[in-house]
Amino acid sequence: MYYSESIGIESARPQNEFWSLEVSDLGNQKWKYGPVRPGVVESHLLQPNKPQPYGKYSLDQAIELAALNFSTVQHESGTWPNQYKGPMFMTIGYVASSYFTKTPIPGHVVSELIRYIVNSSHPVDGGWGLHETDKSTCFGTTINYVILRLLGLSKDHPVCVKARKTLLDMGGAVGNPHWGKIWLSVLNLYKWEGVNPAPSELFALPYWLPIHPMKWWVHTRGIYAPVAYLYTRKASCELDPLLEQIREEIYLQPFEKIDFAACRNKVCGIDLYYPHTTLLNVANWAMVKYDQWRPQFVANWFNKFAYNLVLKELENTENLSIAPVNGAFNSIAVFLEEGRSERFKVVVERMHEELFLGPMGLTMMGTNGSQVWDSAFAVQCFHVSEVDQFGLVKNAHDRAVSFLLRSQFDTECVRGSYRDSRVGGWPFSTKDQGYTVSDCTAEAMKAVLMAHPNDTQLIQKLHKTVDLLLSLQNVDWSSKLRAYYGSFASYEKVKATPLLELLNPAEVFGNIMVEYPYVECTDSSILGLVYFQKHSDYRSEDIKLAIDNALQFLAKAQNPDGSWYGCWGICYTYSGMFALEAFAETGHKYGNSEIVRKGCHFLVDRQLKDGGWGESMKSCETHTYVSTLQANVVQTAWALIGLLLAEYPDLVVIEKGVRLLLSRQTKEGDWAMEGVEGVFNHSCSIEYPNYRYIFPIKALGLYRRRLKSQGRTWRN
């Protein structure tokens, strides 16, 4: 049961006002409150998740109904909006920025934000973790407690009382990791002298230096540019009576008595995932000394470099920023530089596109959505299941394809933003967000090719996509040295040494400093190139070589037990599906490849008694397969897809999984949300609500093909 109404603060809720979702042609989505009545999409998104399994459909009926149901919840823009939630450290950005810049948050937003946080508090101790299904941590509990207080929940409200006790039991807010300390300092609830340094000078270093920040992972440098600006200015919100009260609530000692400088390296043991190295401690110590010594005018001068990068980021993303974390920091930097300028107003307006409403309330998502990614997979699953021409599904399919075609990048980034070419590429969410991702580009290319296999103009346009994809492959001498020759990373090629991880200051995430080779990104890139090759001779030799190199990387990345570690989905099951698909599409099947046989056996050995698969988020954290007790639909579909594409011979194994999918299907043709599907940086889980349609439809469709190819029919 979710809290739905009164949470102790007054929220004006007139009878004739409703929440409705506006989505632009480019997939930018915004929840609005007003006279517009919610439609089918909104009702679907706001409906609590408790569909009853029906399980009586035949295979054909199951596929068709699922595809029809999925089509009805598509928005006319061609996207499938969904609450892409999970991380519990995003909303603080929106709330802190609003508080800092004194930008009022409308009452209807306030009450929904509170409702989500209240609903997601830990049932036992009332705290919050790094992500929604995490144990309570100091970071999660502090920032979500602070949000509730800033939004007007009383300190004596039972939710605050319970959370505060948990926070104080963990030693109070001094145990926050770096990002927590930064937000608290921005809000004047902590002192900058207790924050490990992020000086703007780093951004003024010459680019040829191997550790230059603009060679870091796009997210990390996107966050640290505005953070450096705020740190160097020691920017703090104006103190007011509410902040003074919060200062007295979140620490064990009175605020004035705390020696903040001594808390710089203090991190609550529960939070710590990635401890400091000695090298980082020494570097921090030196930077603190430097910071104390360097005159303010020098600091201001260096800050111009960091601010310039903030502006470039805003220009390249239509004022959106790559994701909410840096978006919120950017908004404060712009406010400090420009006050309530036109740019500031747009930046604030666009932040609302990252807030999304769901049955539990309103929250800041991981990105401004997952539009391109989901639409690309949707188109593919309709084709694989041969329902793309079926009734209403055809309409949904065509709209999704048009959306993909509209979302391809056709302009480059502005000069001086340290960004690679992007024309021809696709993002994860929307064109405005502006960042090419290797696998999103490849999967979108595959989808549009499936839809328009003979369109010569389109194929011509995809030449740029192929150029871009090939340019993203790690094939230089350093990748050879590090054994990831042939791989693909997420947004860019690997540009700097993983040794930079020794300087990872975030404490709660692993592998955030630089790009890494990712099995899934490599798999998808292979698939995109393979599909392209079926339709064109363009750069065929280069493509062939790229695919060979990528396959060799995948072979090396396979663990001795046959598995591949997944970085963006949970976990070995997710990666197993992608890897087996990449091998299958290049002609490596169970019958002719030892790699594929091992990959299949790994999955088959983990099939649960109920016939399906279920893998826990713990796999990602511990790098060891951890099964759940019961199967879930999405992971069962992933395993089935891998096995079916690999042509795993034992149909009994596969049929058991198929039966599990059918047994969980509802009368309406969809499936319940059963758990979290995604992950990032090894420690944070994130939901992909559309996966529960896309992958079961694909798995069932593949199974139907397999039966047909063997001249068999389904028996209930």
Cβ nearer to ligand LAN, comparing 468 with 512: 512
664 touches 671 (CB < 8 A): yes
Interface pick for ligand LAN out of 465, 549, 607, 681 (rule CB under 6 A):
681
For the range 406-411, what are the long-range contacts, defined as Cβ-Cβ under 8 Å and sequence gap of 24 or more?
Answer: 406/25, 406/26, 406/431, 407/26, 407/27, 407/371, 407/372, 407/431, 407/444, 408/444, 408/461, 408/465, 409/434, 409/436
Cβ nearer to ligand LAN, comparing 438 with 665: 438
Which range of residues in 120-128, 145-153, 365-373, 704-712 is near ligand LAN by CB under 6 A? 365-373
CB atoms within 10 A of CB 611: 18
**355 belongs to the binding site for ligand LAN (CB under 6 A):** no
Cβ nearer to ligand LAN, comparing 428 with 703: 428
φ, ψ of residue 98 to 5 degrees: the values are -65, -40
What binding mask, one character per residue, do residues 387-426 give for ligand LAN by CB under 6 A, x or -?
----------------------------------------
Which range of residues in 23-31, 334-342, 434-442, 462-470 is near ligand LAN by CB under 6 A? 434-442
* Smallest distance from ligand LAN to CB 298, Å: 29
Interface pick for ligand LAN out of 325, 360, 500, 637 (rule CB under 6 A):
325
Cβ nearer to ligand LAN, comparing 134 with 439: 439
Cβ nearer to ligand LAN, comparing 678 with 696: 678
* Smallest distance from ligand LAN to CB 714, Å: 32
Packing angle between helix 138-150 and helix 241-249, nearest 10 degrees?
Answer: 150
Q: Which parts of 22-61 interact with ligand LAN (CB under 6 A)? A: none
**377 belongs to the binding site for ligand LAN (CB under 6 A):** no
Cβ nearer to ligand LAN, comparing 362 with 521: 521
Task: Name the amino acid, one letter, at 478.
Answer: S
The Cα–Cα gap between 405 and 462 comes to: 11
What binding mask, one character per residue, do residues 575-594 give for ligand LAN by CB under 6 A, x or -?
--------------------
Interface pick for ligand LAN out of 280, 314, 323, 673 (rule CB under 6 A):
323
* Smallest distance from ligand LAN to CB 370, Å: 7
**437 belongs to the binding site for ligand LAN (CB under 6 A):** yes
Helix H or strand E segment including 347:
helix 342-351
Which range of residues in 47-55, 344-352, 432-440, 525-533 is near ligand LAN by CB under 6 A? 432-440
Contacts of 705 (CB under 8 A, 6+ apart): 384, 386
Q: Provide the H-helix boundaries in 352-502.
A: 371-384, 391-406, 438-451, 456-471, 477-481
Task: Name the amino acid, one letter, at 195.
Answer: V
* Smallest distance from ligand LAN to CB 323, Å: 5
The Cα–Cα gap between 623 and 365 comes to: 26
Write the DSSP assignment of 360-382 as a string of letters: TEEEE-SSS--HHHHHHHHHHHH
Tokens describing residue 7 = 């949470």
- CA 657-662-664 angle, to 5 degrees, is 100
The Cα–Cα gap between 249 and 598 comes to: 55
- Using a 10 angstrom Cβ sphere, with 0-12 exposed, 13-18 middle and 19 or more buried, the burial of residue 301 is middle
Cβ nearer to ligand LAN, comparing 7 with 448: 448
Which of 303, 239, 249, 250 minimizes the C-alpha distance to 100? 239
Cβ nearer to ligand LAN, comparing 132 with 388: 132
Q: Which parts of 504-523 interact with ligand LAN (CB under 6 A)? A: 509, 512, 520-521
* Smallest distance from ligand LAN to CB 567, Å: 7
**134 belongs to the binding site for ligand LAN (CB under 6 A):** no
422 touches 436 (CB < 8 A): yes
* Smallest distance from ligand LAN to CB 679, Å: 8
Cβ nearer to ligand LAN, comparing 163 with 218: 218
* Smallest distance from ligand LAN to CB 382, Å: 20
Q: Which parts of 440-499 interact with ligand LAN (CB under 6 A)? A: 440, 490
Interface pick for ligand LAN out of 100, 428, 565, 574 (rule CB under 6 A):
428
- CA 116-509-255 angle, to 5 degrees, is 65
* Smallest distance from ligand LAN to CB 89, Å: 8
CB atoms within 10 A of CB 168: 15
Q: Collapse the DSSP code of 324 into the 3-class scheme (helix H, G, I; strand E, B; otherwise coil) and give the result.
A: helix
Which residue of the set 439, 476, 542, 670 is catalytic?
439
The bridge status of strand 678-680 relative to strand 684-686 is antiparallel
127 touches 136 (CB < 8 A): yes
Which range of residues in 7-15, 142-150, 436-444, 653-661 is near ligand LAN by CB under 6 A? 436-444
Packing angle between helix 438-451 and helix 456-471, nearest 10 degrees?
Answer: 160
155 touches 174 (CB < 8 A): no
Interface pick for ligand LAN out of 70, 80, 224, 373 (rule CB under 6 A):
373
CB atoms within 10 A of CB 134: 22
Interface pick for ligand LAN out of 31, 680, 691, 693 (rule CB under 6 A):
680
Residue carrying structure tokens 């604030």: 348
Which range of residues in 48-56, 346-354, 590-598, 680-688 is near ligand LAN by CB under 6 A? 680-688
* Smallest distance from ligand LAN to CB 314, Å: 17
What binding mask, one character per residue, do residues 169-208 give for ligand LAN by CB under 6 A, x or -?
----------------------------------------
**568 belongs to the binding site for ligand LAN (CB under 6 A):** yes
Residues that contact ligand LAN, how many (by CB under 6 A): 20
The Cα–Cα gap between 122 and 134 comes to: 9
**Does 240 participate in catalysis according to the annotation?**
no
Which range of residues in 265-273, 378-386, 433-441, 638-646 is near ligand LAN by CB under 6 A? 433-441
* Smallest distance from ligand LAN to CB 400, Å: 17
Alpha-carbon torsion 620, 622, 623, 626, what sign?
A: negative
DSSP assigned state of 615? E
Cβ nearer to ligand LAN, comparing 366 with 689: 366
Q: Which of the residues are catalytic?
A: 439
Residues that bind ligand LAN (CB under 6 A): 219, 223, 323, 325, 366-367, 373, 428, 437, 439-440, 490, 509, 512, 520-521, 568, 680-681, 686
